[in-house]
Amino acid sequence: MYIDIEQLCSDAQEFLDSDPRFFNENEGSFEYHYERVFFTKTPDLFVLEVQGIEVSCIRP
């Protein structure tokens, strides 16, 4: 399945620091449109990996 990386970044920016399942985690994974997404939080970025593609998103 095709994943819109810009939308993934936008959604991750919205919920990774606010969703109680993830706000206290520096590493983890979640399901996004039936695909497993792995994340790592740094002070400035979310590093996401999905379908073998790694992308960095600015952390708000």
The SS3 call for residue 17 is: coil
**Residue 1 or 29, more confident:** 29
* Residues 32, 50 contacting (CB under 8 angstroms): yes
Res. 1: pLDDT tops 90:
no
Flag whether pLDDT at 2 surpasses 90. no
Task: Write out pLDDT tens, residues 4-58.
Answer: 999 999 999 999 999 999 989 999 999 999 999 999 999 999 999 999 999 999 9
Q: Are 37 and 31 in contact (CB under 8 A)?
A: yes
Task: Report how many domains make up the chain.
Answer: 1
Which residue range is the domain that position 24 belongs to?
A: 5-58
Task: Select from 11, 17, 41, 19 the least CA-distant residue to 28.
Answer: 41
Query: From CA 44, how far away is CA 35, in angstroms rounded?
Result: 25
* pTM, two decimal places: 0.90
